[in-house]
A and B are shown apart, each in its own frame.
Chain A
Amino acid sequence: MTETAQEQHVELEVGYASGKSIPRKEDGRLVQGQGVFADDVKRHGMGYVHFVRAPYAHARIVSVDVSAAEALDGVYGTLTPDEVAELTDPFFELTTPPGSQIKDYALAVGRVRHIGEPVVAVVAETRERARDAADLVEVEYEPLDVIVDARRAQDGGAPVLHEGAGTNVVWSGRFDWGDIDGALKAADRVVRIKELHFDRFSSTPLECSAALVEYDRGTGQFTLHCNHQMPGVAAIWMGPALRVPLDRLRFVTQDIGGAFGNKITTHTYLTACCLLARKLKRPIQWTEWRTDQHTANAHGNERWFHDIEVAVQNDGTMLGFKVAALDDCGAFPRYEPLGCIIWAQVTPGLYRWRNIRVDFTQVVTNKSPVAPNRGYSRMQQLWLTERICDIVAAELGLDPVEVRKRNYIRSEELPYETPNGCVYDSGDYARCLDIALELIDYDAARARQKEADGKLIGIGIGSTLDSGTNNFGQSTLLNPELQFSGNNEVATIKLDIFGEIVLTLGTVPQGQGHETTASQVAADILGVSPDQIHVRPGHDSYWNSHAGFSGTYASQFAVTGLEAVKGAAEKLSLEIRRLAGGVLGGADPDDVILEGGFAKRKDNPEAALPFMACGAIINANNAAIPPELRDITLNCRYVYVPPFELPDKERKFGNLTLTYATQIHACVVEIDPETGEVEIADYAAVDDCGTRINPQIVEGQVHGATVHAIGAALYETFAYDEYGQLLTSNFYDYHVPHALDLPRIKTGHIESPSPFSSLGTKGMGEGGGAAIHAICSAIQDALRTAGSPAVVNDSFNPPERVWRMLQAPEETAALVEVTTQ
């Protein structure tokens, strides 16, 4: 049940690599400092770019003077907002009018809208010299009023960030499923929660963004050595903006130092680098520093939940809820407003709630733009559903465990269609919860809670789903004009002249071990060991065959990536067996098996053709091949397309994702009532992502997702002052948990194979922010056990907030009201 990955190391039997924790192919280079990260790429004569950034959160640009900078020795040149406005078109916007009128350029044109926004780029012969020159650029600003609090963004007289749009609203709409009004009337009780706040943070990959951009004047081709995690979408943004065909943009990545969604929206910087490479006729090297990344790259979505009403029966059964959600996407939408629909993949969380109404609005503010951040948009919705469970349990004096079990969707009900048409594929939520509770020894913890020794002890639960493999048709529920639907991913595999098997992926890995898991799947199909399969590292859009949705995001590799690998490997297997069958006396492919690098006749294993011979025949010695085998290339490409349909735009109804991995976390916290400091005394994460190809890699993803969420719950926040100044702009003030801050994380799992993927796998890398929910739940539990009526109303709970809840419980208690009817 809970064996750790490392106990699962076993000798590999050829053909049975899947399901084994084999050490990763990637590690060899990475433990020796031989990885190639974007900032490691160099070229002769390259110039280093430094961006001059906005000192104000909101200001009109009165004038820009680069003459002193350009006059400095060693400076190669500059790029100004005027040049950008002339040489490029605004990046396209996904939303509907008037939000679609927002104009987003590579540099701030006319106005700056958040601290750190790039205004001018300077290129010089050294990093230091570029910075020297940047200090000489003179920009005159006329400060404007600032919007920091999303709740004020729609007030009359509030400054409007984007003149063209005439409003700060990016997108707004109602989602109404079932009959929430009826449910609220029929329910024994109605629990009302005035306001909850999901805080702003991000997973802050340790490697910041970087690029080495080259321009070939002969062919008009740009080559971007970078760490963008979704080059396909970057090209779609950049091509039209730069007015060049997409194939002129070659994206090359090898090792990426973590991305977590934060490297999906760097196209603005990459575009500036392209313009500079073309203008200055030399390679451009861009290094983003930590403070740059914090102030002006990508945060996670901040979200407010207002006027929540939950229909509850006396026994704790919940019939549904309604809520007004307000999402803050910062100064520019970029990947947004997709976050206005992505949450709907998990509308009711893990619960059987049939009546749900969400009035969703997204606004811009003078803060860093957001990008999809691990758990993207679902995490916020799942935090809401988990808060609802705990607040209802607390208010009705029920056991949070019982409330969850009573409302969880039952395993026998799966596959289960949610009120908005998503199909939860498989799982056993109650069982996962039991395992989690066993891991933290729930009963013992409850007992300890009673004999309080000065510390307040709380037990918390976080139940989440990681919805993987998007149906991009969901975008049409936001904007019916968008021409996106379904999903796809590509893999190609070939048998080379000397019998080497070479696999290339359409994905863009950032530490998830794709080279390893892909080789495990292909190896079993081809009857070889994973060591015998070379998976090309990284992604090069010129040599890795890819499709429209290729990339590594949205918890989908285990389905899209591996199904593509499986499809390609099966095609290659069939070709090898057809070829060998022909060569070995006309055997039917079905009578040929692949084993240990040979294609053998089942009826006579002595009759065997080595892969090397197959490769040689097709690649180098093919004149004698009979006509019926001439179509064989031993070079196979497979595009996996998941079985999706178009959602119903009117009802905002349909299956938005293919698989749903379960995460149930449980923890015990100890609160120091004098200081409000929260310590995690015990922590358990139980995961069910269906069939696990490499359990050790899966467990690693669970650890990572858990700690991102622990950081978000206790340490990490992007806090702004009233002027839009970011107060946590580096790792000194933005505290990322280190090894001493964290507990030993216990893990457990069950495997409920997905009926919707042929491998039974489910995407699971993002998790659902379960630790945020579990820690909020535990703090709530500790407060109530201590007799405090306080309500945990924020996802971020630093010591002072916890202390305040203890000091002035009425402040948060007033947010909740229960009526009996």
Chain B
Amino acid sequence: MKVEGTKEFDAPAQLVWDVLNDPSKMAKLLPGVESFEIQDDRHWKAAVKVPLGMGGLKLNFSFEKVEERPIEYAKLASKGQGVGAIVAMETEFNLKADGERTHMDWVADVRVAGPIGSMGQRVFQPIVNQQVGNVLDALEEQVAEAKGGGTGGAEEGIHPGSPEAYEAEPDAPTHSTDG
């Protein structure tokens, strides 16, 4: 499914760009990160355990920056593999500088493959919408920290997930017989 939206940042475009293109900061947007490994400036890997209400789902993600036009456009492809679920996602974002502020248009095209990918379609969209919201909030936080000259250190606990990670989630509920 395709989800898209816009986001305003109270920070200059260069700073937003830096956050979005810093793998270590990216790591802090992911939920339940158990390990994060930067291979080069275009490729990195992460092992995450998506916190599900029904229990955690382990996924091994590989990310690739497939295209970029600093400081206005970047496209990120990622693939996560877990038991019975393969999650693929393409994210694109466009930044428009507006003085000290930045306007971002983003699009994410996500899909779950695997036999269990067919389950839980009905909760797919609410989860994505909700989690995308969380990711954007986390992003805003990162931007704010960067702007405030903070170390960018994430606070305790699990950060809200990014859409990539949450794609694998929907399988869970469809098996519910309600209660």
Query: When the two chains form the complex, which single residue of B83, B117, B174 contacts A725, counting CB atoms closer than 8 Å?
Result: B117
Q: Does B113 contact A (CB under 8 A)?
A: yes
Known: A55-B86, A135-B83. A729 touches B119 (CB 8 A): yes
CB pair A115–B175 under 8 Å, yes or no, is no
Which residues in A have their C-beta under 8 angstroms from that of B118?
Answer: 115, 295, 725-729
C-alpha spacing A732/B118, complex, angstroms: 12
* Distance in angstroms between the alpha carbons of A730 and B177 in the assembled complex: 12
CB distance from B119 to the nearest CB of A (A): 7
Q: Decide if A732 touches B174 in the complex (CB within 8 Å).
A: yes
Question: Measured between C-beta atoms, what is the minimum distance from A734 to chain B in Å?
Answer: 11
Contacting B115 at CB < 8 Å: which of A116, A143, A723?
A116
Q: Using an 8 Å CB-CB cutoff, how does the interface string of B76-102 with A read, 1 for contact, 0 for none?
A: 000000011110000000000000000
Known A55-B86, A135-B83: A733·B115 in contact at CB below 8 Å: no
A494 proximal to B (CB < 8 A): no
In the complex, whether B114 has a CB less than 8 A from a CB of chain A is: yes
Contact: A55 with B117, CB < 8 Å? yes
Q: Is the CB of B115 within 8 A of A732?
A: no
Specify which chain A residues have a CB less than 8 angstroms from the CB of B112 in the assembled complex.
Answer: 725
Contacts of A727 on B, CB cut-off 8 Å? 118, 121
Give the residues in chain B near A732, CB-CB below 8 Å: 119, 174-177
A56 within 8 A of B: yes
* CA distance in complex: A143, B115 (Å): 15
Could you tell me the distance between the alpha carbons of A53 and B117 in the complex, rounded to whole angstroms?
A: 13
Bound CA–CA A53/B119 (angstroms): 16
- Are A723 and B121 in touch, CB under 8 angstroms? no
- Secondary structure call for the A interface: loop
Contact A53 B115 (CB under 8 A): yes
Bound CA–CA A667/B131 (angstroms) = 48
**Minimum CB–CB distance for A621 against chain B, Å:** 64
- Among A116, A135, A143, A733, point to the contact of B174 (Cβ < 8 A): A733
Q: Which of B120-179 contact A (CB under 8 A)?
A: 121, 174-177
A143 to B111, CA, bound (A): 13
Do A55 and B114 have beta carbons less than 8 Å apart? Answer: yes
The range of chain A's interface size is 10 to 19
Q: Give chain A nearest CB distance to B11 CB in angstroms.
A: 37
Q: Does A291 contact B (CB under 8 A)?
A: yes
Q: Is the interface of B mostly helix, strand, loop or mixed?
A: mixed
Q: How many A-B residue pairs have CB under 8 A?
A: 43
Q: Which residues of B contact A721 (CB under 8 A)?
A: 121
Contacts of B115 in A (CB 8 A): 53, 55, 115-116, 291, 295, 729
Q: Across the interface, which residues of B come within 8 angstroms of A733, CB to CB?
A: 119, 174
B92, chain A: closest CB distance, angstroms: 20
Q: Are B174 and A723 in contact (CB under 8 A)?
A: no
| Min CB–CB distance B9 → chain A (angstroms) | 34
| Cβ–Cβ < 8 Å partners of B111 in chain A | 723
Question: How many of chain B's residues have a CB under 8 angstroms from any CB in A?
Answer: 17
CB distance from B171 to the nearest CB of A (A): 10
Q: Is the CB of A723 within 8 A of B83?
A: no
Given A732-B174, A732-B177, A733-B174, is A55 in contact with B119 using a C-beta cutoff of 8 Å? no
Interface string of A709-744 (1 = CB under 8 A from B): 000000000000101011111101100000000000
How many Å from the CB of A231 to the closest CB on chain B? Answer: 29
Return chain B residues, CB-CB under 8 Å to A725: 112-113, 117-118
Once the chains bind, are A730 and B119 in contact (CB under 8 Å)?
A: yes
A-chain residues with CB within 8 Å of residue B174 when the two chains form the complex: 730, 732-733
Please determine whether B175 and A55 come into contact, CB atoms closer than 8 angstroms.
no
Among residues of B, the one whose C-beta sits closest to the C-beta of A57 is B113
CA gap between A150 and B111 in the complex, in Å:
22
Question: What is the chain A residue whose CB lies nearest that of B114?
Answer: A55
Min Cβ gap B53→A in Å is 18
Produce 1/0 per residue, A278-295, CB < 8 A to B.
Answer: 000000000000010001
Cβ-defined contact, B121 with A55, below 8 A: no
Bound Cα distance from A43 to B167, whole angstroms:
42
Distance, CA A246 to CA B142, complexed state (A)? 69
Tell me the complex Cα distance, A291–B111, Å: 20
Residues of A within 8 A of B86 (CB): 55-56
Residue of A whose beta carbon sits closest to that of B176: A732
CB distance from B95 to the nearest CB of A (A): 30
User: Whose C-beta in chain A lies nearest to the C-beta of B1?
Assistant: A721
Chain A nearest CB, measured from B151 CB (Å): 39
A55 and B83 contact, CB distance less than 8 A: no
Return chain A residues, CB-CB under 8 Å to B175: 730, 732
B-facing residues in A731-778 (Cβ within 8 Å): 732-733
B121: nearest chain-A partner, CB-CB: A727
A728 to chain B: closest CB distance in Å?
8
Contact of B113 among A291, A295, A723, A728 (CB under 8 A): A723
Q: Which residue of A has the minimal Cβ distance to B177?
A: A732
Q: For the complex, what is the distance from the CA of A116 to the CA of B121, rounded to whole Å?
A: 17
Q: Which of B119, B174, B176, B177 has the most CB of A within 10 A?
A: B119
In the bound assembly, the distance between CA atoms of A723 and B112 in angstroms comes to: 10
Report the Cα distance A733→B118, complex, angstroms.
Answer: 10
Which residues of A from 85 to 138 have beta carbons under 8 Å from B?
Answer: 115-116, 135
- Closest chain A CB from B89 CB (angstroms): 13
**Distance in angstroms between the alpha carbons of A524 and B111 in the assembled complex:** 64
CA distance A56 to B86 in the complex (A): 9
Q: Is the CB of A55 within 8 A of B113?
A: yes
Minimum distance in angstroms from A731 CB to a CB of chain B: 10
| Chain B hits for A728, CB < 8 A | 118
| Cβ of A296 to closest chain B Cβ, rounded Å | 9
A positions within 8 Å CB-CB of B: 53, 55-56, 115-116, 135, 143, 291, 295, 721, 723, 725-730, 732-733
Beyond A55-B114, A729-B119, A732-B175, 14 additional contacts (C-beta under 8 Å) are A55-B86, A56-B86, A115-B118, A116-B115, A723-B113, A725-B112, A727-B118, A727-B121, A728-B118, A729-B118, A730-B119, A732-B174, A732-B176, A733-B119
* 9 A/B residue pairs, CB under 8 Å, sorted by A: A55-B117, A115-B115, A116-B115, A135-B83, A721-B121, A725-B117, A729-B115, A730-B174, A730-B175
5 closest Cβ pairs, A-B complex:
A55-B114, A55-B113, A729-B118, A726-B118, A725-B118
